């Protein structure tokens, strides 16, 4: 079935550092790809998405490019802030596997930014 694998955390960085959180997927067909974020004490919310190959999703300074050739959707930010501390989840939906209407999530990566 469809699956998502993301880089294990926790990740700790200093403010203004460059961030990459790796995400790779396995899916049949042409899934849509998402990054969700869970800030402390809050519910999950969509950060960005891409619906086809070579699309770049972006939001709040974060970017991720849908790479079909490497089945990846790595999350990047050029200069992180303390307020970016959260748990980040990579997800996919819409593959051809049974149950294509659900989101399949990775295990999450906890990010902590120190001032």
Partner 1 sequence: GAGVSQSPSNKVTEKGKDVELRCDPISGHTALYWYRQSLGQGLEFLIYFQGNSAPDKSGLPSDRFSAERTGGSVSTLTIQRTQQEDSAVYLCASSPRGTGGGKLFFGSGTQLSVL
List interacting residues with partner 1 (CB under 8 A).
32, 34, 42-46, 49, 51, 89, 93-94, 98-108
Closer by beta carbon to partner 1, 19 or else 104: 104
| Residues 107, 33, 50: CA angle, nearest 5 degrees | 145
Q: Work out how close the CB of 14 gets to partner 1 at its nearest, in angstroms, rounded to a whole number.
A: 25
Q: Work out how close the CB of 49 gets to partner 1 at its nearest, in angstroms, rounded to a whole number.
A: 7
Instruction: Give the three-state DSSP class for 84.
Output: helix
Torsion of CA 57, 5, 44, 59, to 10 degrees: -20
What gap in Å lies between CA 70 and CA 61, rounded to an integer?
A: 23
Closer by beta carbon to partner 1, 42 or else 69: 42
Closer by beta carbon to partner 1, 79 or else 112: 112
What gap in Å lies between CA 106 and CA 44, rounded to an integer?
A: 13
Q: Work out how close the CB of 72 gets to partner 1 at its nearest, in angstroms, rounded to a whole number.
A: 18
Closer by beta carbon to partner 1, 72 or else 105: 105
Q: Work out how close the CB of 39 gets to partner 1 at its nearest, in angstroms, rounded to a whole number.
A: 11
Instruction: Give the three-state DSSP class for 108.
Output: coil
């Amino acid at each position: 079935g469809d699956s998502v694998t993301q880089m294990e955390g926790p990740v700790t960085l200093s403010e203004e550092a460059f961030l990459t959180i790796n995400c790779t997927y396995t899916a049949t067909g042409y899934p849509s790809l998402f990054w969700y974020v869970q800030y402390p004490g809050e519910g999950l919310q969509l950060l960005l998405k891409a619906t086809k190959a070579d699309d770049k999703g972006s939001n709040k300074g974060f970017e991720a490019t849908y790479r079909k050739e490497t089945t990846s959707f790595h999350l990047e930010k050029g200069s992180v802030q303390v307020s970016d501390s959260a748990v980040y989840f990579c997800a996919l939906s819409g593959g051809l596997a049974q149950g294509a209407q659900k989101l399949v999530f990775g295990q999450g990566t906890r990010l902590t930014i120190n001032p």
